[in-house]
Amino acid sequence: MTEMSYLDGNMLDGPLRELFAVDLSTATGRCASCGMVGPMAGLRVYAHAPGLVGRCPACAEVMVRLVRAPDRAWLDLRGITYLQVPMPTVEPFPRPL
């Protein structure tokens, strides 16, 4: 595998949308290893490993790992301390029926 053989976090959008209802490419994550906060789209994704491995662009530690089998998926998020996901503005108050 060469140095250049990674893609970016954008390519995780499809695989993660199988699991989540929201698009995580605009979410920001905090690296558990170095503390960097950045967009998921900015991760370096290695697709040759078993599954997809997303590494921190600052310290290269693994932040997310997704392995997909025909009948299940493993999602390992231990390299992320939090994910902040933009959400549509909440209705100020439930409307009367």
Partner 1 sequence: MTAAAAGGRRAVPLGWRVARLVQRRVETSTAQTLVLSVPDWPGHLPGQHVDVRLTAPDGYQAARSYSLAGPADGDRIALTVQRVPDGEVSPYLTDAWVEGDPVEVRGPVGGWFVWRPAQTAPVLLVAGGSGVVPLMAMVRARRAAGSRTPFRLIYSVRTPADVIYADELRTRARDDPGLDVAYVYTRQAPDGWRGEPHRIGLADVNTYGWPAELEPLCYVCGPTGFVETVADLLVGLGHQTRRVRTERFGPTG
Ligand X SMILES: Cc1cc2nc3c(=O)[nH]c(=O)nc-3n(C[C@H](O)[C@H](O)[C@H](O)COP(=O)(O)OP(=O)(O)OC[C@H]3O[C@@H](n4cnc5c(N)ncnc54)[C@H](O)[C@@H]3O)c2cc1C
Binding site for ligand X (CB under 6 A): 7, 10-11
The residue (of 10 and 33) whose beta carbon lies closer to Zn ion is 33
Helices (H), the chain: 13-17
Report d(CA 42, CA 47) in Å as an integer.
15
The residue (of 36 and 68) whose beta carbon lies closer to Zn ion is 36
Residues of this chain that interact with Zn ion (CB under 5 A) are: 31, 33-34, 36, 56, 58-59
Residues of this chain that interact with partner 1 (CB under 8 A) are: 2, 4-11, 13-15, 17-23, 25-26, 39-41, 88
Residue 31 beta carbon to partner 1: minimum distance, rounded to whole angstroms: 15
The residue (of 5 and 35) whose beta carbon lies closer to ligand X is 5
41 makes contact, choosing from ligand X, partner 1, Zn ion, none, with CB < 5 to 8 Å by partner type, with partner 1
Single-letter amino acid, residue 59: C
**Cα separations in angstroms, 60 against 2, 15, 80:** 15, 21, 13
**Cα separations in angstroms, 33 against 4, 38, 75:** 23, 13, 18
